Amino acid sequence: MERSLPDDPLQFIQRCVKERKVLWTYHVKSPVHSSVRQVIVESYASYVIIEEYPDDKYLPSYFV
C-alpha cells in the first residue's frame, strides 16, 4: 500500500491540529504540559515551516 503525501504539508498540519487529529507523545500528555498543548492548538493559524526533513526515516518531517 503506497502512501500519498499532501501537496501542501503546512496546510495539512494546520488542518490536523485544528480538527484535533494529533497524537501527543507521552511527555506532552502530562498535566504539567496542558497549557503547552493549548497554545499549540490555539496557534495553528500562525504556523510556519522552519525546517523540512524530506528523507526522515518513515515519512517526511517538519519543524513547525
The reported pTM is 0.81
Q: How many residues are there in the chain?
A: 64
pLDDT tens, residue by residue, 15-58: 999 999 998 888 777 777 788 888 999 999 999 999 999 999 88
Q: What is the pLDDT of residues 5-26, one digit of tens each?
A: 899 999 999 999 999 999 888 8
Stated as kind and residue range, the H or E segment containing 4 is: none
- Structural domain boundaries in the chain: 9-63
What is the number of other CB atoms lying within 10 angstroms of the CB of residue 54? 10
3-state secondary structure of 61: strand
